[in-house]
Structure 1
Amino acid sequence: MEFNLSLFLLALPIAFGLGWMASRLDIRQLRLENRQAPKAYFRGLNFLLNEQQDQAIDAFIEAVQNDPDTSELHFALGNLFRRRGEYERAVRVHEHLLSRGDLSQEDRQRAQHALALDFLKAGLLDRAENALEKLEGTRYEAQARMARLAIYERAHDWVPAAEVAAKLESSGQGSFAIRQAHYLCEQAELLRAKGQGPEALPLLTQAQQTAPTLARPRMAQAQLLAAQARHAEAYSVLKQALHAAPQSTALIAPELARQAMACGLAPEALQLLQQHYRNSPSLDLMDAIANLNTSLGHDATAVRQAYAEHLQREPSLVAAAKWLHDEPLSHSELKPLVQRALEHATKPLNRYRCAACGFEAKTHFWQCPGCQAWDSYPAKRVEEL
């Protein structure tokens, strides 16, 4: 077959042109795809910054569909679902990430941490605990341990809480001695409630050694001793508590006065509390002194005078109501009405208030029922803050 040079020369530019057009189409398609994904991504960011979460989710879903292998978009989408309270969808996103074989070790740990947060926010504490345990040995280890600690405290699982707290302290995350002492006190309280007081005493002794400046272990020990009619020992323990934890004098004083009266040491206790009152006056301390005065047979005038002196030092509506209780008035028929009005007005002032969240309660708590913070209740009442 004879080679036709003219046809070859004619076909050459045609083939070149077709090749050039094909390459242009491929480049244009690539540019279009690369332009679409970032556009959807940045549109989602814009919606997010404007707090338009619904539109942001739609934009991120579009971006993920255009590029399903982009892990960052999955993380952004999962976080959005969690913030909106759509925990099931957030879990699916993060579980999908964990199922990918091409995910880097760093992103795998990040996805595991995000999954644990999903379970925590959803209140699935068992699944959250399992997810958090898988973060041991990762860069999220400290955060995971703190989250597990919160779970155990919420569930009142004091033994595993103590184990995690010990790990946190050994890894340099701060001192957890106060919490450890509270955990021992909580275990002792459970034993006491079951009628196993003698078994609780060693735990309280350990708690005192763990946190010597914490009043709670000695106060709990005194209660156990008092329940066994060992009032002199209980009084001695409370005296130690006054020395070790002067910041909790207002909490210790009422029980110390009761134990002193039970074992015949009221004069000594009165002198001791009066000394503490001069250094740091408070309403509960004043009440304890008044009770001791009454038990020693002192007349009502001395008690009223004590409240009057407190009023001179501290303006207090509560103290005024207590002074008025035994004060003779010229209009005796009005006294019950005035007394009732004052008692009503002082009820909110007699409460304790959490310094962390502001939760108020009639009784003092070592752990706030509202925010779960430890030792967030001052020893003094609302009026004295």
Structure 2
Amino acid sequence: MEFDLSWILLGLPLAFILGWLASRLDLRQIRAENRQAPKAYFKGLNFLLNEQQDKAIDAFIEAVQNDPDTTELHFALGNLFRRRGEYNRAVRVHEHLLSRADLSASDRERAQHGLAQDFLKAGLLDRAEEALRRLEGTPYETESRLALLAIYERSRDWPLAADIARRMQTANQGDFSARLAHYLCEQASEKAAHAQLEPAMDLLHEAVAIAPQSIRPRIELAKVLHRLQRSEDAFQSLVTLSRETPQGLPLAAPLLLEVAAASNHTTDAAALLRQHYQQTPSLDLLDALVALGAAPASPQDSEAQADARSWYVQHLSREPSLVAATKWLAGEKLEQEQFHPAVQKALDHASKPLLRYRCAACGFEARTHFWHCPGCQSWDSYPARRVEEL
């Protein structure tokens, strides 16, 4: 059977036409998909700008389905899920990204960072810790270490927190000397609570060496020395505190009275308190002077001012203070004494909020002074002064 060349001549144009039609169909499909994906993306962006997060998520899901290889859409979707509190879905998005073999190194680090944030927001601290540790050596290292510090502070794991603080200090990622001193003080407090006073004292000496301008280490050291029957050393520690960080003396005033009595330094303590009160009046220093029975040393003193309680009157002449007036009135005899209890009760009630301490970072108020704010978790955010004095 002879082969007819006419079929080849007819087949070549037909093949060309079929190929051209197929290419046109592919191009139309690609263009349609490309139009559909941006449309869904911009629709989601519009919803996001209008704070319609539910509709934005639906639009981004549609865009991801049309183009599953687009990493930016996955990141946007994961962030939206986390902002809405749908942490499980956010975790799945970031874990899907991490499972992709074609993901670049920078995107992998970004996905790992997003996963760590998901776990943190969900309160899964153990999984967050693991995810954050994988960010060592990445551009997110500093942020991850700060998050680890927050985790260890929250769980009161002070040795691990101190380790992270030392590493950040060594890497010049900030000055963490004051915070490291607090971690050492926390460890010392735990040891002192279990009567391990010598190890506690070693930790406090280290804290003083690391942050000599910090108030807490010297106060805590004086407490431990006093418990070890070394009241003389405890008194000298508080004298050093008054010289190095005088703003912290009001916090140490009650301890100073106790230590001075045990070490026979009552006169020296009175002179120290009087000197600092004259420089910077304080309600706590005022109460300590009254408790010591130290009468004001002034040439204008009259017999009526010879007792220590006249410090309250002198304080009123320097600063208007409801607290000082209330405390002075408590020991006075009124002309109509039958009304004194009711008046005193009202004044005590009115002055009680003025005796609180207030966090400078978040405004949280408390009756006791905190080194670590229970509201905003800031360190050293409570001034050593009462609300009335701010």
Answer yes or no: same fold by TM over 0.5. yes
Question: Does structure 1 residue 116 correspond to structure 2 residue 112?
Answer: no
In 2, Cα distance between the equivalents of 1:105 and 1:381? 53
- RMSD after superposition: 2.2
Map of 1:228 onto structure 2: 228
In 2, Cα distance between the equivalents of 1:313 and 1:73? 65
Secondary structure of 1:233's match? Answer: helix
Q: Would the aligned equivalents of 1:277 and 1:286 in 2 still touch at CA under 8 Å?
A: yes
Name which of structure 1's ranges 262-271 and 72-81 shifts more when overlaid on structure 2: 262-271
Secondary structure of 1:303's match? Answer: coil
In 2, Cα distance between the equivalents of 1:299 and 1:130? 69
Map of 1:42 onto structure 2: 42
Q: TM-score, normalised by structure 1?
A: 0.94
Letter paired with 1:70: T
Map of 2:362 onto structure 1: 357
* CA displacement at 1:263 relative to structure 2: 2.8
Name which of structure 1's ranges 369-378 and 11-20 shifts more when overlaid on structure 2: 11-20
Map of 2:62 onto structure 1: 62
Map of 1:272 onto structure 2: 272
Q: Would the aligned equivalents of 2:91 and 2:118 in 1 still touch at CA under 8 Å?
A: yes
In 2, Cα distance between the equivalents of 1:23 and 1:134? 47
Map of 2:337 onto structure 1: 332
Letter paired with 2:195: G
Question: Does structure 1 residue 106 correspond to structure 2 residue 106?
Answer: yes
* CA displacement at 1:180 relative to structure 2: 1.1
Question: Does structure 1 residue 217 correspond to structure 2 residue 217?
Answer: yes
Q: Would the aligned equivalents of 1:261 and 1:292 in 2 still touch at CA under 8 Å?
A: no
* CA displacement at 1:305 relative to structure 2: 1.9
Map of 2:379 onto structure 1: 374
* CA displacement at 1:67 relative to structure 2: 0.8
Q: Would the aligned equivalents of 2:197 and 2:228 in 1 still touch at CA under 8 Å?
A: no
In 1, Cα distance between the equivalents of 2:336 and 2:46? 73
Deviations 1:6-40 (A, max 9, x none): 9957x777665554443332221111000001111
Letter paired with 2:43: R
In 2, Cα distance between the equivalents of 1:262 and 1:191? 24
Q: Would the aligned equivalents of 1:44 and 1:55 in 2 still touch at CA under 8 Å?
A: yes
- Closer/same/farther in 2, CA of residues 2 and 242 from structure 1, 3 Å limit: closer
Name which of structure 1's ranges 359-368 and 227-236 shifts more when overlaid on structure 2: 227-236
Alignment of 1:207-356 (within 5 A): 207-293=207-293, 302-356=307-361
Secondary structure of 2:188's match? Answer: helix
In 1, Cα distance between the equivalents of 2:9 and 2:248? 104
In 2, Cα distance between the equivalents of 1:304 and 1:270? 14
Gaps of 5+ in 2: 297-302
Map of 1:137 onto structure 2: 137
Deviations 1:163-200 (A, max 9, x none): 11111111111211101111111110000111111221
Secondary structure of 1:302's match? Answer: coil
Q: How many positions carry a matched residue from both structures? A: 383
Map of 2:82 onto structure 1: 82
Q: Percent identity?
A: 61
Map of 1:29 onto structure 2: 29
Question: Does structure 1 residue 151 correspond to structure 2 residue 160?
Answer: no
Gaps of 5+ in 1: none
* CA displacement at 1:5 relative to structure 2: 6.5
